[in-house]
Amino acid sequence: MAIKQRTKSLKARNSELADTFVQLNVLNGKDRVDEKFPSFNKKVADLGFVPFQPTKMEIFQMNVGKMCNQTCAHCHVDAGPDRKEIMTKETMEQCLEVLAKGDFHTVDLTGGAPEMNPHFRWFVEECSKLGLQIIDRCNLTIIVANKKYHDLPEFFAKHKVQVVSSLPYFSASRTDKQRGDGVFEDSIKALKMLNAVGYGVANSGLELNLVYNPTGAFLPGNQASLEQEFKRQLQRKYDIVFNQLYAITNLPISRFLEYLLDSGNYEDYMEKLVNAFNPATVQSVMCRNTISVGWDGFLYDCDFNQMLDLKVAAPKSQHISDFDAKALNDRTIILNQHCYGCTAGAGSSCGGEVV
Amino acid sequence: MSEKTYFNPEDLKKFGNISEFQPEMAKKFFAWYGEVFKEGALTEREKALIALAVAHSEQCPYCIDAYSTACLEKGADEEQMMEAVHVAAAIKSGAALVNSTQMMNHVKKLTM
């Protein structure tokens, strides 16, 4: 069935929150940082991480475009069908030049719906030739959205792509509230197609991991416990199997920030994140071993900094065309109030909990 | 500005402050409380659903707020949460009704 979009992008609606300065202003409003919410930078500095730097870059994450067939209510990318920003083949070629040097073991493709980039399959094939571990952050519904995508499971399997897919809940009501009416039904169809070629099946070598993120202003519970419940329910109701569940915290930026402000939950949510700050997570946050490449080739510490337009603090290596591994490994990571999202509880990263 | 009422949801955040008037007992209570809600023979989600049901039968608004959030965090959905409340309601009303056998016994004893 066709997905009924919940909204349009902030940009298409001319929302003031489409401006990253406005978002940063909300996060850094004087009354909040200095009085109510302590500065994240200071929190980390107090733990002795001065300056806060990468351990070693290992994961090359690329946002290959903001175009998506869904307009999820919580999307930190502000992606949707109305977004036309797409990574060019030229930028992808520059990425391949960097990847060919062998410093990274994993290339992590995200979007939008990365598969909507016209050069997606070519790029995956090239990465496969380089022997890289490839991750595709697939929204599932793209697989059934159009006939031209129906063979994606076979394509992924051919290149041993690790598929990481969002499924916020094992029932339609909660999933569709976040992602659009009809998304759950299409997601189940797509999961069955992935299972049919071996994804998520024991000893197949084809890894299918699901992403759980809360459908509202609350934090994710224990990842192992949620995984157990998702496995039980998806098997029982739909005969679907998968490997791991990643529990990811929603960061207070972009459309999730809009939801928090509109629903009157912003202050309470920030307070929850701040109160749940776990010092043990700081050394394992993903910005320490990841570099994030934007659709236009600019470099960021993570996908969230990318969406806030906070480019890497390496003045001579801010674009893929000027990629300098040493300068980037020596950089100081840019922190801000949204980073509380990655250090709450057991921590949060693109691979779920960090401790 | 919110209306001033006897129940203030913000007071839930002050629960830990009960130690101010009796530290030792509070310390023991919170240690035991934390142990109770850890995953054991029952999952954390099952315990949160039980707590939500009991919160309703006890009609404790602080507990209802706390365990509605806990249930969501532990992965319970609205349907499961409402079913848990129905269990509490069924026991509560059943407890009232089953006592009517006492009333019936008494009435039968006194009447011809």
- Over the stretch B40-64, which tens digit does the pLDDT of each residue have? 999 999 999 999 999 999 999 999 9
Whose CA is closest to B59, among B89, B29, B30?
B89
Across the interface, whether the CB atoms of B73 and A229 are under 8 A apart is answered: no
What is the distance of C-alpha B2 from the center of its chain? 26
pLDDT tens per residue, range B17-37: 999 999 999 999 999 999 999
Angle, helix A223-238 to helix A183-196, in steps of 10 degrees: 80
Alpha carbon distance A41, A21 (integer Å): 18
pLDDT tens per residue, range B63-79: 999 999 999 999 999 99
- Residue A101: per-residue pLDDT: 96
Helix (H) or strand (E) holding A299: strand A299-300
- Residue A30: per-residue pLDDT: 61
* ipTM, 2 dp: 0.76
Count of other CB atoms within 10 angstroms of residue A126: 18
pLDDT tens per residue, range A263-300: 999 999 999 999 999 999 999 999 999 999 999 999 99
Nearest CA in chain A to B9: A268
A221: nearest CB among B73, B78, B79: B73
- Residue A328: per-residue pLDDT: 96
Contacts of residue A160, Cβ cutoff 8 Å, sequence gap at least 6: A128, A134, A205, A206
Alpha carbon distance A101, A49 (integer Å): 30
What is the distance of C-alpha A216 from the center of its chain? 17
User: Structural domains in chain A?
Assistant: 16-342 (3.20.20)
CATH topology of domain B32-110: AhpD-like (1.20.1290)
**Which stretches of chain B are assigned E, i.e. beta strand?**
none
**What ranges do the domains of chain B cover?**
32-110
Contacts B78 to A, Cβ<8 Å: 173-174
Contacts A169 to B, Cβ<8 Å: 77
- Residue A29: per-residue pLDDT: 83
Across the interface, whether the CB atoms of B72 and A216 are under 8 A apart is answered: yes
Across the interface, whether the CB atoms of B79 and A219 are under 8 A apart is answered: no
Pair A188, A144: CB distance under 8 Å: no
What is the distance of C-alpha A127 from the center of its chain? 20
Across the interface, whether the CB atoms of A220 and B73 are under 8 A apart is answered: yes
Q: Which residues of chain A have pLDDT under 50?
A: none
Structure tokens at A253: 């930026």
Nearest CA in chain A to B74: A221
In the block, tokens 């993903």 appear at A286
- Check pLDDT > 60 for residue B2: no
Pair B39, A222: CB distance under 8 Å: yes
Residues, chain A: 355
